[in-house]
Structure 1
Amino acid sequence: MGDIAVVGGGVIGLTCALRLAEAGHRVEVVADRAPGDTVSAVAGGLWFPYLAAPADAVLRWARESLDRFAELAAMPTTGVFWREGIVLHRADDPDLAWTAVVPDCRAARPDELPEGVASGVVCSVPVVDTAAYLGWLAARCARVGVAFRRAHVVRPADLPQPTVVVAAGLASGVLVGDPTLEPVRGQVVRLANPGLTRWVVDDDNPAGMAYAIPRGHDVVCGGTADRGESGTAHDPDVERAVLDRVVALVPELRGVPVVSRAVGLRPVRPSVRLDRVTVAGQALVSCYGHGGSGVTLSWGCAADVVGLAGP
């Protein structure tokens, strides 16, 4: 099969590389940073469609990823867990479209709802320890013959491969001349896990979005969604506000030690770009603009990339 370069070493790039190699392609991942230093490593890792469109395609990609993560959750080395949790809704008419692809959703009982919350959905979905999972993905890629090269790509035309998959998150816009991508800043703080397994998401919190996602040894607490903000410096005032909101939802986290902190820039555009064009004889397959849903959509989008790459 023809050689393919995948630009980007985050969850989208690595998943695309793996699926392409499994389909028989010779694949090289070209990235200017290690997987653990990408925005994917900052993500809380909860399967949940967020800041991604169009709705019908997002649900299709999310469903395929959900099925794949269900398989991976049975493998102890992947960093994938299957965990029950609750999505809180403070509005009377919440968007529940995502529940169509989740098999075991139920309405939250009144005793499960914090004061001021109108309703909620309880379900079990994948929770991904992104550091462990990215390491597993990279190792799996290497085992099926994917090559890795650390380099900063300025133009896809500089790569020798006849097909290039652009999966570089926020940097993808510069590579393909797309001005619609914008950063949405997210800041998280990771606390030592005191034994929690149940996650909670409260995006409609009037004081700001709040979530607590227990993984293995830590609990990812967030967060923020600062559209257009491109700074990645840690803000201690933001962290204090995040922890106040989270502790109000999960009192067991009060006073728990901080393990680590992180800031990342979600790559957001009006819709996920997943298409193929030919420029000067080189095929460019775009796969970027996943917003806060990179993990959630990764396997479904990678399957489409394989189809677009061709034989």
Structure 2
Amino acid sequence: MTASAAPVLVIGAGVQGLTAGVVLAEAGQRVRIRTADRPQDTTSAVAGAMWGPAMLRPAERVLYWVTRSHAEFSALARDENSGVHLAAGRMAARFDLGDVVPPEAKLIPDLRPCTPEELPEGFVSGYYATVPLIDMPRYLDYLVARFQAAGGELQLSPVPSLADAVAESPTVVNCTGVGARELVGDPGVHPVRGQHVVVRNPGIDEYFVELSDSGEFAAYMPHGDRVVLGGVAVEHDWNMVPRREVSEGIRRRCAEVEPRLADAEVLADLVGLRPGREAVRVEVEEYEGGRIIHNYGHGGSGVALSWGCAFEAVDLVEGIA
């Protein structure tokens, strides 16, 4: 294909921006990513993270995004340098989940209900499944290297406004997460505060995720010599400072499920702001003579949707979608 005179400008270097940059660059486009934060300082770096069903809107498009992403992560799990690996584990609830599972759960070949013996005390329902787990610090480094190997340019340089963006390039991909609230002027975007505790791995190789509508739940995901413990989800909270009482609650809930975590050495307490929105936004906006492809509002499912959203965003850049 013929590259345009100006590179496509991607704003943001979290998982959405880097993945979109990779897909664009590998499709033969000239691409520049500009970011206010290094990839390792983004909310994406703080994520657990895992591929899993995403209960977001719009449902039909989310199903495509999460399905496409599952295929990519499953392939990446065969690359030991990617930071992605397949892990077995449990997704469980303190209420009856019933027999109906999300459509994308059918992508999991070994999905089955948990036996009563497999459920922790206080849990009444759950599923056992092997899914991709993503070690985000390693994975973000992998995406940066892959992006640059494809000829992409990464600049640590914030974009002040959309007008500045389209003045630099007629085609812009906006992957600013919660920053879209100010950059785009979208009041529907709000922070959903997450906090994680990273501990030295005491020998755990299976994940656990509590399915809950509560702002506090138990979750842990092993990544080699460390385990990421969660979790909390606090709407409209911009505070980026780790709270000791929140970390203590996370450790207590996780240790109730997996006692080996009770005395695990704490390596870090991390905070990230998930970009909450009523619906994920992947669409084109004509703006001052340029085209802006918005890709934000993924809530706590940014990693799980990243490849599907990136491929759709690139189709929009190239005028396919």
TM bucket by the smaller chain? over 0.9
Question: Within 2, Cα distance between the matches of 1:108 and 1:304?
Answer: 35
* Match status 1:144 vs 2:128: no
Question: Within 2, Cα distance between the matches of 1:195 and 1:260?
Answer: 18
* Match status 1:9 vs 2:9: no
What residue is the counterpart of 1:179 in the other structure? 187
**One-letter amino acid of the counterpart of residue 289, structure 2:** G
In structure 2, the residue corresponding to 1:86 is in which secondary structure? strand
Deviates more, 1:71-80 or 1:172-181: 172-181
In structure 2, the residue corresponding to 1:164 is in which secondary structure? strand
Task: Please give the per-residue CA displacement for 1:190-243, whole angstroms capped at 9, x wherever unaligned.
Answer: 010112110001133979311011112111001100011110111001111111
* Match status 1:239 vs 2:247: yes
* Match status 1:72 vs 2:80: no
Q: So what's the TM-score if we normalise by structure 1?
A: 0.96
Question: Within 1, Cα distance between the matches of 2:240 and 2:195?
Answer: 8
Choose which of 251, 256, 277 in structure 1 pairs with 2:259: 251
Task: Please give the per-residue CA displacement for 1:24-72, whole angstroms capped at 9, x wherever unaligned.
Answer: 1110000011100000000001112456322222221111111111111
1:19-98 paired onto structure 2 within 5 Å: 19-50=23-54, 52-93=56-97, 96-97=101-102, 98=104
In structure 2, runs of 5+ residues without a counterpart are none
Question: Within 1, Cα distance between the matches of 2:55 and 2:187?
Answer: 17
Choose which of 297, 307, 315 in structure 2 pairs with 1:299: 307
Question: Within 1, Cα distance between the matches of 2:140 and 2:56?
Answer: 21
RMSD: 1.5
Question: Within 2, Cα distance between the matches of 1:310 and 1:12?
Answer: 18
Choose which of 263, 273, 281 in structure 2 pairs with 1:265: 273
The 1:256–1:284 alpha-carbon spacing in structure 2 relative to 1, beyond 3 Å, is same
Task: Please give the per-residue CA displacement for 1:172-206, whole angstroms capped at 9, x wherever unaligned.
Answer: 22222211001000011001011211000113397
What residue is the counterpart of 2:230 in the other structure? 222
**One-letter amino acid of the counterpart of residue 101, structure 2:** L
**One-letter amino acid of the counterpart of residue 251, structure 1:** P
Question: Within 2, Cα distance between the matches of 1:62 and 1:50?
Answer: 7
1:102-141 paired onto structure 2 within 5 Å: 102-141=108-147
**One-letter amino acid of the counterpart of residue 232, structure 1:** M
Question: Within 1, Cα distance between the matches of 2:223 and 2:296?
Answer: 26
CA contact (8 A) 2:215 2:234 kept: no
CA contact (8 A) 2:97 2:126 kept: no
The structural deviation recorded for 1:166 is 0.3
CA contact (8 A) 1:207 1:245 kept: no
CA contact (8 A) 2:53 2:105 kept: no
The 1:51–1:228 alpha-carbon spacing in structure 2 relative to 1, beyond 3 Å, is farther
Calculate percent identity across the aligned residue pairs: 38
* Match status 1:310 vs 2:318: yes
Question: Within 2, Cα distance between the matches of 1:51 and 1:111?
Answer: 28
**One-letter amino acid of the counterpart of residue 256, structure 1:** A
Question: Within 2, Cα distance between the matches of 1:205 and 1:184?
Answer: 13
In structure 2, the residue corresponding to 1:292 is in which secondary structure? helix
In structure 2, the residue corresponding to 1:270 is in which secondary structure? coil
Q: So what's the TM-score if we normalise by structure 2?
A: 0.93
**One-letter amino acid of the counterpart of residue 145, structure 2:** A
The structural deviation recorded for 1:261 is 1.3
Question: Within 2, Cα distance between the matches of 1:83 and 1:282?
Answer: 43
In structure 1, runs of 5+ residues without a counterpart are none
The structural deviation recorded for 1:153 is 1.0
The 1:113–1:22 alpha-carbon spacing in structure 2 relative to 1, beyond 3 Å, is same
The 1:196–1:125 alpha-carbon spacing in structure 2 relative to 1, beyond 3 Å, is same
The 1:72–1:206 alpha-carbon spacing in structure 2 relative to 1, beyond 3 Å, is closer
The 1:63–1:207 alpha-carbon spacing in structure 2 relative to 1, beyond 3 Å, is closer
